[in-house]
Amino acid sequence: MEKAARGLLYTAKPLTEEEHRAVEEKFAAVTGREVSLTECQCEELLGGIRVELLGRVYDGSVQAQLRHVLAVLQDKEDRHA
């Protein structure tokens, strides 16, 4: 494996150690590096997590889904208009 990568893990509710490790292992498999994530609690996410690693953002939060819904609603209304 290449050198370690450090990133940020945002979560709406605190993760257990197992969950934290599971996330780090998943991203290690994706990036091919040893991954170390710093956990930050962010209630604005409402639910789910967001990971920022190696210049990329992986957003699985409820907030991101709501933003997507909003974008679709506004885009649909523009098309109808």
* Cβ neighbours for 15, distance < 8 A, ≥ 6 positions apart: 9, 23, 39, 49
Residues found near another protein in the complex (CB under 8 A): 11-13, 15, 19, 22-23, 26-27, 29-30, 43, 46-49, 58, 60, 62-63, 66-67, 69-70, 73-74, 77-78, 81
Nearer to another protein, 6 or 67 (CB): 67
Residues 14 and 45 sit within 8 Å (Cβ to Cβ): no
Least gap, CB of 3 to another protein (angstroms): 20
